[in-house]
């Protein structure tokens, strides 16, 4: 069954899917997988420091991971962070057409995000170096530099498996799962 | 010859004679331009006399130099340099500036101006194309830089032309040791007291206009590399940020990483102060943005304050270094107050880094009870007293009361105050440390310690590379460096010093917009502008030659390896903030650095290397000096 993003059905089915995967998929989770995204959401929501730093922040942020078919990511991924005055209302994998409309989009190749989440690449530096591109009001991001830094710092604390670390078999399996999710949820 | 006019103006101020001298081919070949050529010229002019020369004597030459890119439309290349022995540090002195001056001088047909001797009466140099003459400046003496700039631009400008003006203010005339030279009001040759040297020569300023253009060696290749750089700039977030908030754009991120000095380097965190001094805080008084010649970045601010105690008409706004040296260092959380202090420093002709840091140091000593009101002439020096700071700035420029002591800079102030005060003076080789904290970026600590002119964040590209804003991947510097770590930093510093000597000090590419250049871009610019073949290897060799020559000048002036150190206040760990607990391992880095540079036990460069780089004569002078001859 295919759900339409933005409907209550989509949200319900998404949460059920995540719950099921959290119960069955072994840790560490693959970067950008639904279970990784759910862990990320929980950690942001639990961060008191983020709440403080992001007071007054309004706007959705998308982490855009560019496709890398060779590594097992056949299409671009969009992780939508719904952030509002220090609260992280949700983090979801969303369809492309939704992701590209976010207020802020951080775009980068899979390898860059792997380096960011492993702590090898600082996201601010990566943006300055053009390794990660920002779309959205720079003036506003600069005002919330601590909150933005914390968002990526939190991601480094998730125990993560990178696609580049998977065996061919695991990669094939993950690719299949992504195709099924796409059919169901549109991402 | 592409990129050069092929001649210099030599002005004998004692005799009042202005001459045209050719720019020698060997200087261009080996030292490229800017302070590379400046250093060689100074060395030759003072040969045999360097060690004994008093920087305020008539014999100290004052050399203004452009680079091969000056006057071209390559982005972020509008810098110009001025060189002399420094009265503040006693060693090699160097300051640089953006704006219009370097382009105008090239359009007038000159690569540089060398001032010799000293005038009996105040004068200024008027350059109008090929014509150059000294004119009396008696009525200008004593006037501030803004008034004199307006007057000279009116006097020598026309309907459609505004000459470039560079003048000193009362601080330079009165011998404040860190006097600046103001160019078109807001751009300053700030560091090492070059305005003081100018004042000692009774030279009030230069007025320059030209209508020529710069020859390009290979116009097709030039067009391609210029477009490549412009495209990069369009894409660059750093450039967008500099345009948005000026050089102050990084203060929030810098505060997080521990890069911003606070309370005379002794506080690691000050959120409320940063919020009152950051980019958005200055928006309330931002009137406009401005830029240097042909630079698409436009990082300059124009501010205007219409209400409140700090009113000022629209004029140049403060840069990051000023916002921190007076704002965070003196604990003044007030953008308007800092803008006003900046305006007065500009008008009086003061280096805002040395001035702000010296004032912060004095306040710190007073707050700690290390100095008393008897020493300050009854002034109570406290944090967050902008009115007091403004008063001190006036007193410094006039060398009045306690201001006369502050006018000597932090090092001499500590010597005069004695006791424990020395611990809190943040200087390297007597030059106040600029506003980036080596406890957050250890490589910068080594760069400060071994920098030629004293603590300097611009002559090498260490800061940009270590902070990850500039990538030099062909040199193996990929921008992934951990700031608070000393491992591998000696190599990073040696490479960025050599590259930076050619890039920022000889070719005079601006460090800010210049962050988009990589090695290949730079080499392509050099080859296409000059029409001669440049390679990365040649760039590094040229940089090493310039670095060693300047280092030799310092050695001849008595500044050796024991001066390559960081002040105690910066070697003390902070207890809070992004750099809490972190201190550069200077011993390790200096040891590695010395090995990489091939220094002997006394910190002298080797004969082989100096000879291979064409510096055999300099090596011989060093040997003579070592033997005490
Ligand atoms: S980046 Fe800024 S300081 Fe540098 S040349 Fe351009 S406008 Fe001038």
- Crossing angle of the two packed helices B34-45 and B536-556, in degrees rounded to 10: 40
Q: What is the dihedral of CA B405, B408, B414, B417, to 10 degrees?
A: -20
Other beta carbons less than 10 A from residue B581's beta carbon: 13
CB contact under 8 A, B237 and A138: yes
- State phi, psi for B511 to the nearest 5 degrees: -65, -25
For the ranges B365-369, B544-548, B570-574, B601-605, the lowest mean pLDDT is seen at B601-605
Query: Which ligand 1 atom sits nearest the alpha carbon of residue B76?
Result: 5
Query: Which ligand 1 atom sits nearest the alpha carbon of residue B247?
Result: 2
The pLDDT confidence band at residue B267, using thresholds 50, 70 and 90, is very high
- Are B451 and B494 a contacting pair, CB within 8 Å? no
Q: Whose CA is nearest to atom 8 of ligand 1?
A: B292
- Are B19 and B12 a contacting pair, CB within 8 Å? yes
Measured in angstroms, how far is the CA atom of residue B390 from the centroid of ligand 1?
28
Q: Is A116 exposed, middle or buried (0-12, 13-18, 19+ CB in 10 A)?
A: buried
Judge: domain B7-209, CATH 3.60.9.10. Answer: yes
**Angle subtended at Cα B549 by Cα B82 and Cα B540, rounded to the nearest 5 degrees:** 95
| Minimal C-alpha gap between A143 and chain B (Å) | 7
Whole-angstrom Cα distance, residue B515 to residue B250?
14
Q: Is A139 on the interface with B (CB under 8 A)?
A: yes
CB contact under 8 A, A145 and B279: no
Chain mean position to CA B194: 10
To test the pocket of ligand 1, the residue of B69, B75, B98 to mutate (highest count of ligand atoms within 8 Å of its CB) is B98
| Minimal C-alpha gap between B252 and chain A (Å) | 7
- Give the nearest chain B residue to A136 (CA atoms): B237
| Minimal C-alpha gap between A120 and chain B (Å) | 7
A51 within some domain: yes
What residues of chain B lie within 8 A of the CB of A121, using their CB? Answer: 480
Give the per-residue pLDDT at B628: 81
The pLDDT confidence band at residue A139, using thresholds 50, 70 and 90, is confident
User: Could you give the count of Cα atoms lying within 13 Å of B397 in the half-sphere of its Cβ?
Assistant: 26
A63 within some domain: yes
pLDDT of A13 above 70: yes
Judge: domain B236-410, CATH 3.40.50.10170. Answer: no
Give the per-residue pLDDT at B602: 83
Q: Of B266, B250, B597, B583, nearest to B440 (Cα)?
A: B583
For the ranges A107-121, A137-151, B221-235, the lowest mean pLDDT is seen at A137-151
Q: Is the CB of B98 under 6 A from ligand 1?
A: yes
Give the per-residue pLDDT at A1: 73
- Are A158 and A29 a contacting pair, CB within 8 Å? yes
Which ipTM did the prediction report? 0.72
pLDDT of B169 above 80: yes
A contact test, residue of B480, B511, B514 with most A CBs within 10 A = B480
The pLDDT confidence band at residue A128, using thresholds 50, 70 and 90, is confident
Whole-angstrom Cα distance, residue A143 to residue B423?
36
| Minimal C-alpha gap between A20 and chain B (Å) | 38
**Structural domains counted in chain A:** 1
Q: Is the CB of B300 under 6 A from ligand 1?
A: yes
To test the pocket of ligand 1, the residue of B298, B461, B504 to mutate (highest count of ligand atoms within 8 Å of its CB) is B298
Give the per-residue pLDDT at A149: 86
Give the per-residue pLDDT at B177: 98
Higher pLDDT, B476 or A143: B476
Whole-number mean pLDDT of chain A? 93
pLDDT of B159 above 80: no
Whole-angstrom Cα distance, residue B519 to residue B504?
13
What residues of chain A lie within 8 A of the CB of B515, using their CB? Answer: 128
> pTM of the full predicted structure?
0.92
Q: Which residues pair with A58 in a beta bridge?
A: A84
A2 within some domain: no
Q: How many CB pairs under 8 A join A and B?
A: 51
Q: Is the CB of B186 under 6 A from ligand 1?
A: no
pLDDT of B629 above 70: no
pLDDT of B536 above 70: yes
pLDDT digits (tens, 9 = 90+) for A57-102: 999 999 999 999 999 899 999 999 999 999 999 999 999 999 999 9
pLDDT digits (tens, 9 = 90+) for A21-57: 999 999 999 999 999 999 999 999 999 999 999 999 9
Work out the average pLDDT over B95-107.
Answer: 98
Give the per-residue pLDDT at B461: 93
Whole-angstrom Cα distance, residue B201 to residue B211?
29
Task: Among A121, A133, A146, select the one facing B480 at the smallest CB separation.
Answer: A121
What sign for the dihedral angle of Cα B3, B6, B12, B16? negative
What is the pairing mode between strands A29-30 and B312-316?
A: unpaired
Task: Among A122, A130, A139, select the one facing B244 at the smallest CB separation.
Answer: A139
Whole-number mean pLDDT of chain B? 96
Higher pLDDT, B366 or B629: B366
**Token digits of residue B441:** 């970026």
Q: Is A143 on the interface with B (CB under 8 A)?
A: yes
A3 within some domain: no
Work out the average pLDDT over B526-550.
Answer: 98
**Token digits of residue A184:** 């169901």
Other beta carbons less than 10 A from residue B373's beta carbon: 12
A123 within some domain: yes
CATH topology of domain B442-626: 1.10.599
CB contact under 8 A, A146 and B256: yes
Q: Is the CB of B512 under 6 A from ligand 1?
A: yes
pLDDT digits (tens, 9 = 90+) for B575-618: 999 999 999 999 999 999 999 999 998 889 999 999 999 999 99
Work out the average pLDDT over B69-96.
Answer: 98
What residues of chain B lie within 8 A of the CB of A120, using their CB? Answer: 480
**What is the domain-level CATH number for residue A58?**
3.30.1050.10
Residue extents of the structural domains in chain B: 7-209, 236-410, 442-626
Query: In which region does residue B564 sit, left (phi positive, over 0), alpha (psi from -120 to 50) or beta (all else)?
Result: beta
Whole-angstrom Cα distance, residue B473 to residue B166?
38
What residues of chain B lie within 8 A of the CB of A124, using their CB? Answer: 253
Full domain range(s) for residue A175: 25-182
B contact test, residue of A125, A131, A156 with most B CBs within 10 A = A125
B contact test, residue of A140, A142, A144 with most B CBs within 10 A = A142
Q: Is the CB of B365 under 6 A from ligand 1?
A: no
CB contact under 8 A, B279 and A124: no
Quote the DSSP letter at residue B325.
I
Q: Is A140 on the interface with B (CB under 8 A)?
A: no
pLDDT digits (tens, 9 = 90+) for B516-530: 999 999 999 999 999
Give the per-residue pLDDT at A20: 96
To test the pocket of ligand 1, the residue of B245, B294, B510 to mutate (highest count of ligand atoms within 8 Å of its CB) is B510
Q: Whose CA is nearest to atom 1 of ligand 1?
A: B513
pLDDT of A144 above 90: no
The rounded percent of chain B whose pLDDT value lies above 90 is: 94
Give the per-residue pLDDT at B565: 97
């Amino acid at each position: 069954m295919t759900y339409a993003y933005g409907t209550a059905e989509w949200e319900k089915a998404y949460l059920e899917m995540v719950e099921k995967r959290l119960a069955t998929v072994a840790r560490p989770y693959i970067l950008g997988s639904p279970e990784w995204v759910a862990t990320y959401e929980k950690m942001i929501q639990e961060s008191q420091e983020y709440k403080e730093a992001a007071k007054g922040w309004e706007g959705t942020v998308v982490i855009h991971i560019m496709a890398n078919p060779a590594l097992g990511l056949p299409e671009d991924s969009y992780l939508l962070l719904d952030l509002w005055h220090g609260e992280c209302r949700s983090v979801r994998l969303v369809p492309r057409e939704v992701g590209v409309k976010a207020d802020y989009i951080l775009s980068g190749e899979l390898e860059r995000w792997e380096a960011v989440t492993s702590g090898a690449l600082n996201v601010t530096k990566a943006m300055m170096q053009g390794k990660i591109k920002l779309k959205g009001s720079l003036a506003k991001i600069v005002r919330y530099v601590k909150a933005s830094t914390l968002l990526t710092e939190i991601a480094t604390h998730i125990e993560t498996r990178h696609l580049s670390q998977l065996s061919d078999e695991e990669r094939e399996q993950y690719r299949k799962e992504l195709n099924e999710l796409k059919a169901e949820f549109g991402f | 010859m592409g990129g050069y006019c092929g001649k210099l103006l030599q002005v004998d101020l004692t005799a009042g004679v202005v001459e045209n001298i050719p720019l020698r081919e060997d200087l261009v070949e080996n030292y490229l331009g800017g302070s590379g050529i400046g250093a060689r010229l100074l060395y030759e002019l003072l040969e045999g006399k360097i060690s004994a020369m008093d920087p305020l004597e008539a014999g100290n030459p004052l050399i203004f130099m452009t680079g091969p890119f000056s006057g071209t439309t390559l982005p972020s290349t509008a810098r110009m340099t001025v060189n002399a022995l420094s009265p503040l540090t006693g060693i090699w002195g160097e300051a640089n500036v953006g704006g219009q001056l370097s382009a105008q001088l090239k359009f007038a047909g000159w690569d540089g101006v060398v001032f010799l001797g000293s005038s009996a009466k105040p004068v200024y140099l008027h350059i109008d194309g090929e014509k150059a003459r000294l004119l009396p400046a008696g009525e200008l003496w004593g006037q501030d830089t803004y008034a004199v700039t307006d007057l000279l631009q009116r006097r020598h400008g026309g309907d459609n032309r505004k000459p470039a003006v560079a003048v000193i203010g009362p601080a330079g005339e009165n011998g404040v040791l860190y006097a600046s030279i103001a160019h078109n009001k807001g751009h300053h040759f700030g560091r090492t007291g070059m305005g003081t040297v100018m004042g000692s020569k009774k030279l009030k300023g230069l007025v320059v206009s030209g209508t020529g253009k710069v020859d390009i060696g290979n116009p097709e290749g030039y067009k391609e590399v210029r477009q490549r750089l412009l495209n990069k700039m369009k894409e660059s977030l750093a450039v967008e940020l500099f345009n948005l908030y000026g050089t102050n754009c990084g203060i929030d991120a810098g505060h997080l990483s521990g890069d911003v000095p606070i309370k005379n380097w002794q506080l690691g965190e000050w959120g409320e102060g940063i919020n009152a001094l950051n980019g958005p805080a200055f928006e309330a008084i931002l009137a406009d943005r401005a830029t240097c010649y042909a630079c698409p970045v436009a990082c300059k601010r124009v501010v205007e304050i219409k209400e409140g105690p700090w009113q000022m008409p629209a004029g140049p706004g403060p840069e990051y270094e000023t916002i921190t040296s007076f704002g965070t260092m003196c604990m003044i959380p007030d953008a308007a107050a800092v803008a006003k202090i900046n305006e007065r420093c500009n008008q009086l002709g003061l280096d805002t880094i040395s001035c702000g840091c010296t004032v912060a140091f004095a306040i710190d000593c007073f707050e700690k009870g290390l100095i008393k009101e008897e020493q300050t002439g009854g002034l109570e020096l406290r944090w967050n007293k902008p009115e007091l700071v403004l008063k001190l700035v006036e007193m410094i420029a006039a060398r009045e009361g306690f201001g006369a002591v502050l006018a000597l800079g932090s090092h001499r102030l500590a010597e005069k105050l004695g006791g424990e005060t020395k611990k809190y003076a943040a200087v390297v080789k007597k030059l106040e440390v600029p506003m980036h904290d080596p406890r957050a970026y250890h490589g910068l600590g080594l760069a400060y310690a071994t920098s030629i002119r004293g603590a300097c964040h611009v002559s090498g590209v260490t800061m940009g590379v270590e902070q990850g804003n500039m990538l030099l991947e062909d040199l193996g510097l990929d921008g992934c460096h951990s700031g608070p770590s000393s491992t591998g930093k000696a190599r990073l510093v040696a490479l960025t010093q050599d590259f930076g000597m050619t890039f920022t000090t000889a070719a005079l590419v601006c460090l800010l917009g210049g962050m988009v250049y990589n090695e290949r871009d730079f080499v392509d610019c050099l080859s296409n502008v000059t029409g001669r073949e440049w390679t990365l290897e040649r760039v590094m060799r040229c940089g090493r030659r310039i670095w060693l020559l300047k280092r030799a000048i310092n050695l001849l002036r008595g500044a050796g390896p024991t001066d390559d150190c960081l002040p105690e206040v910066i070697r003390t760990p902070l207890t809070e903030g992004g750099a809490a607990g972190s201190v550069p391992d200077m011993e390790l880095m200096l040891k590695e650095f010395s090995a990489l540079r091939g220094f002997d036990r006394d910190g002298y460069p080797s004969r082989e290397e100096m000879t291979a780089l064409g510096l055999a004569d300099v090596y011989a002078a060093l040997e003579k000096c070592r033997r005490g001859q």
